[in-house]
Amino acid sequence: MEKETAIGAAVNRLEGREKVTGSAKYAAEYQAEGLLYGYVLNSRVTKGKIKSIDISTIGDVDGIVKVFTHENRPSTAWFDFQYADMDAPPGTVFKPLKDAIVRYNGQPIALIVAETFEAARYAAAKIKVEYEEEYFETGLSANLSRSRKAKKGLASLLKPPPPKPTGNFELAYAESSVQTDSIFKHGTEHHNPMELYATTVIYRGDGKLRIYDKTQGTINSQLYVANVFGLKMKNVQVLSPFVGGAFGSGLRPQYQLFMAVMASLELKRHVRVTLDRKQMFSIGHRPPTVQYTRFGADSAGRVNAIFHKAIAETSRFEDYIEIVVNWANMLYPAENTLLDHELVPLDVFSPLDMRAPGGSTGMHAIEVTMDEIAYRLQIDPVELRLTNYSIVDKSSGKAYSSKELRSCYIEGAKQFGWDDRNPQPRSMKRGNKLVGYGMATGIWDANRILARAEALIHPDGKAEIKCAVTDIGTGTLTVMTQIAADTLGLPISEVKFSYADSKMPFAPIQGGSFTTATVGSAVQAACEALNRKLFKMAKNIAGSVFKNCRFKEMLFSNGCMFSRKDPNLKIAIADIVRTNHGRPVKTTNAAMPNPFKYAKKTRAVHSAAFVEVEVDEELGIVEVKRALTAVAAGKIINPKTAESQVLGGMIWGISKALHEETLLDDNLGKYMNPNLAEYHIPVHADIHDLQVLFIPEEDHHVNKLGIKGVGEIGGVAIPPAITNAIFHATGKRIYDLPIHFDRLLS
């Protein structure tokens, strides 16, 4: 008999109804009797010391419970603990209210706790703070001469430094038929998910807390709270069943978590702290980066020399770094390379991973440079990339575990109609609009790390899977249910996936496009172990028809266990569980790749993006009329949620290329547009025809399921593809992002 499969089916999100009806609860929506509200007061200066905080001015405000400042902050256990969370970069983690020193503009300097949110916010506006200001430096471009190498730390395990130089770059570059020499810049970006940063702490007595947090890792927040406040891990429960967008903003515990827990423990009350939109600009960002590329190629377009250097911003207290310059030699097998990445410490808050960190930055410079070579040599940009195609990662000398990028180029170009273009810049028009086609390559790591899952079947035959992983809107709940249902041979309706609770088996932070591969492997391992357990129990039933069968002969389908050799030999799973004296049958298992075997190959997901733009010849306004991304990402568990992920990445790519930028006034050291009115993001009118094409790809090196991630790959190739399309339309090569209309005016 054939087994029905849930994997590969376009299943609707299982939590979709709760989200669209408003019944899904987010971190700031949990109620408790006597709940107090905290409002954060932020520094208005960029660097210096707090001389005084006068709270006598709020004496006439009803409902104020307490004001916390550096002068009365309760003692904590963390001050010798460098790595307070899983995503901490090298350096010293930021400690709210530690002392009177102001390290960046918008730093939290007080927490006002009141009976109502409105009272706390009003009181915050009345508090008078006197500062002793100091000279500060916040501008990256003005401080490039102070760049230095990043400090090494635990983060380098997933964010390796640039590979060492190979060959003789300067000689090979000097002898190249075509040489490029370009400087790329992009500004600061902030995450701006729909859900505000919020934490609700339910005080349960004796140092026991239940915390509802906006986070991408319940166990990460649990680890942070326990270490910072000296609590037992078992006494800290963090839940985050629904997350209203994150994109990296919830990877690290944010300061509202610290504030809410601090106040709850001190006051022995339930406390909620929510940051407003402006305050969200005081937490993390994609760092502004300056990149330098020099590529050399022969007359046939073969790239033989690659120089790529990035200089990025970091804070004074942490060395945040991204993988920016490592990608070019992974894609293009030049023998002579020189890659470098340096940091400039500035008086800003530490940058934070933002969707496709480093990849969306570095691939813009790389792919625009490749486009420049193509036009200089009058070679089709797709053909140029096929000329430089390699099945080996030249930067490491390792073969790829799988790589269907060639098919992405060919099939993507065919479906987009790439051959219909006139390759000459400024040659295509539609009315008063210049029309341009552009394309670019995308690449992202396909990683997998440790996770655990518990699988159990109740006496009624229904299964439940438990794991602490969150679902930040990517469809994790749905795809994990599909994996479990397939492995156990049950309909999706008979499987419940319980998640987002730190009391459940371990899951890492949800990010890096590794969640489905990581947690899915743990779910599969737990369900397979449960099947073996059920098989042993079935063999021990009196008069069992399976006494002479082996496990590998068994097929689990439609709620039953069958013999593959004789489908008439079967038993219902529920009948097996009933022999367990009314108790569920369960098992807990971990899944982690063999590090020695795993490291033998380079694992990556690939894409090719194709874009058509229209540029108003008189106004310089750019519209992305259509875009197609062809993706090779291994096994696609759920085409519907996977397509949604790639589409979201494509929209973010459009946003990065044409809209998003946080403007910093270096005279004030502060962001000038910390709101959704002036921080521009795409709206419906900006998004037109977007298409996702999944290229079949087999890869069982990353995991048994053959899964690679799709969360980041949709965004990395779109900004350079748009930039290249604008060049084709206008003949103007623009190197800075975002591209504003004034750069395109004649």
Q: Give 644-655 pLDDT, tens digit per residue.
A: 999 999 999 999
How far apart are the C-alpha atoms of 4 and 491, rounded to whole Å? 9
Residue type, 199: T
Q: Using one digit for the tens of pLDDT, what is the confidence trace for 384-402?
A: 999 999 999 999 999 999 9
**Domain co-membership, 41 together with 93:** yes
Phi, psi of 8 (to 5 degrees): 95, -10
pLDDT of residue 530: 98
Report the b/e string of 333-362 with b at 16+ CB within 10 A. bbebbbbbbbbbbbbbbbbbbbbbbbbbbb
For residues 461-486, average pLDDT: 97
- How many domains does one find in the chain? 3
Range list of β-strands (E), 354-432: 392-393, 398-399, 429-430
Residue 1, in any domain of the structure = no
**Ramachandran assignment for 301, one of left (phi > 0), alpha (psi -120 to 50 degrees), beta (any other):** left
Instruction: Kindly report the CATH number assigned to the domain that includes residue 474.
Output: 3.30.365.10
The alpha carbons of the chain give a radius of gyration, in whole angstroms, of 27
**Residue 278: both structure tokens together:** 């402006």
259 plus 402 within the same structural domain = no
Count of CB atoms within 10 A of residue 12's CB? 12
Q: Is residue 89 part of a domain?
A: yes
**338 shares its domain with 399:** yes
Tell me the two tokens of residue 67: 């004001």
Q: Who contacts 414 (Cβ-Cβ below 8 Å, separation ≥6)?
A: none
Residue among 564, 537, 569, 545 at smallest CA distance from 553:
564
What is the pLDDT confidence band of residue 77, given thresholds at 50, 70 and 90? confident
The answer to whether the CB of 1 falls within 8 A of the CB of 557 is yes
Mean pLDDT for the stretch of residues 659-663: 97
Average pLDDT, the chain: 95
Residue where one domain finishes, among candidates 212, 246, 276? 276
Instruction: Name the token pair of 465.
Output: 């899977």
Would you say 676 and 295 are in contact if contact means Cβ atoms under 8 Å apart?
no
Angle between helices 515-539 and 476-488 in degrees, nearest 10:
30
CATH of the domain at 112: 3.90.1170.50
Output the pLDDT for position 267: 97
For residue 694, tell me if it sits in a domain.
yes
Q: What angle do CA 700, 706, 710 make, to 5 degrees?
A: 135
- At residue 2 the predicted structure's pLDDT band, cuts being 50, 70 and 90, is low
Q: Which residues pair with 429 in a beta bridge?
A: 434
Q: Are residues 475 and 582 in the same domain?
A: yes
Domain boundaries, position 345: 143-189+285-447+600-744
Under the banding of pLDDT at 50, 70 and 90, the label for residue 520 is very high
pTM of the model: 0.97
Query: pLDDT tens-digit profile of 333-369?
Result: 999 999 999 999 999 999 999 999 999 999 999 999 9
Q: Is the pLDDT of residue 54 over 70?
A: yes
Residue 413 has pLDDT above 70, yes or no: yes
| pLDDT (mean) for 107-124 | 98
Token pair listed for 61:
């405000």
Are 443 and 453 in a shared domain? no
How large is the average pLDDT for residues 273-291? 97
pLDDT band of 207, cuts 50, 70, 90 = confident
pLDDT classification of 78: cutoffs 50, 70, 90: low
pLDDT beyond 90 at 111: yes
| Domain-embedded: residue 113 | yes
Residues 115 and 209 in one domain: yes
CA-to-CA separations, 489 to 14, 554, 564, in angstroms, rounded: 19, 11, 14
Q: Which of 567, 586, 572, 565 is nearest to 541 (CA)?
A: 572
**Is residue 490 pLDDT above 60, yes or no?**
yes
Q: Indicate the residue type of 701.
A: H
Lowest mean pLDDT among 100-114, 150-164, 730-744: 150-164
Q: Measuring CA to CA, how many Å separate 458 from each of 483, 649, 725?
A: 18, 39, 57
What distances in angstroms separate CA 86 from CA 289, 390, 489, 613, one per listed residue? 24, 34, 35, 41
SS3 319: coil
Q: 211 near 272, Cβ under 8 Å?
A: no
Return d(Cα 383, Cα 140) in angstroms, integer.
Answer: 37
Asked if 453 and 391 sit in the same domain, the reply is: no
* Under 8 Å between Cβ of 623 and 685: no
In angstroms, rounded to a whole number, what is the distance separating the alpha carbons of residues 269 and 126? 25
Minimum mean pLDDT range among 160-164, 261-265, 402-406 = 160-164
For residue 166, the 8-state DSSP code is: B
pLDDT for residue 86:
86
How far is 364 from 355, CA to CA, in rounded Å?
14
Residue 148 backbone phi and psi in degrees, to 5: -150, 170
366, 322, 164, 140 alpha-carbon torsion, rounded to 10°: 80
Shared domain check, 75 and 47: yes
For residues 308 and 384, membership in a common domain is answered with yes
Q: Which residue has the tokens 């790390």?
A: 449
| Amino acid in position 679 | Y
- Those residues with Cβ within 8 angstroms of residue 80's Cβ, 6 or more apart along the chain or in another chain: none
C-beta neighbour count of 204 within 10 angstroms? 13
**Contact in structure between 310 and 326 (CB atoms under 8 Å):** no
Residue 10 is assigned to a structural domain of this protein: no
Task: Clarify whether residues 219 and 309 are in a common domain.
Answer: no
pLDDT number for residue 81: 57
Task: Between 154 and 118, name the one with better pLDDT.
Answer: 118
CB 519 within 8 A of CB 703: no
Q: Is the pLDDT of residue 44 over 80?
A: yes
With respect to residue 684, please indicate whether it lies within any of the assigned structural domains: yes
Q: Is residue 7 part of a domain?
A: no
304/170 Cα distance (integer angstroms): 11
Mean pLDDT, to the nearest integer, of 565-574? 92
Domain boundary among 227, 247, 276: 276
- Distance, in Å, from the CA atom of 485 to the CA atom of 7, rounded to the nearest integer, reads 9
* pLDDT score recorded for residue 167: 98
The residue from 276, 295, 320 where one domain ends is: 276
Instruction: For residues 625 and 733, state if they share a domain.
Output: yes
127, 61 Cβ separation under 8 angstroms:
no
Residue 636 confidence (pLDDT) above 80:
yes
Residue 2 in any domain: the answer is no
Structure confidence at residue 3 as a pLDDT band (50, 70, 90): low
Does pLDDT of 537 surpass 80? Answer: yes
Mean pLDDT of 471-495: 97
User: Residues 501, 547: one domain?
Assistant: yes
Position 268 scores a pLDDT of 97
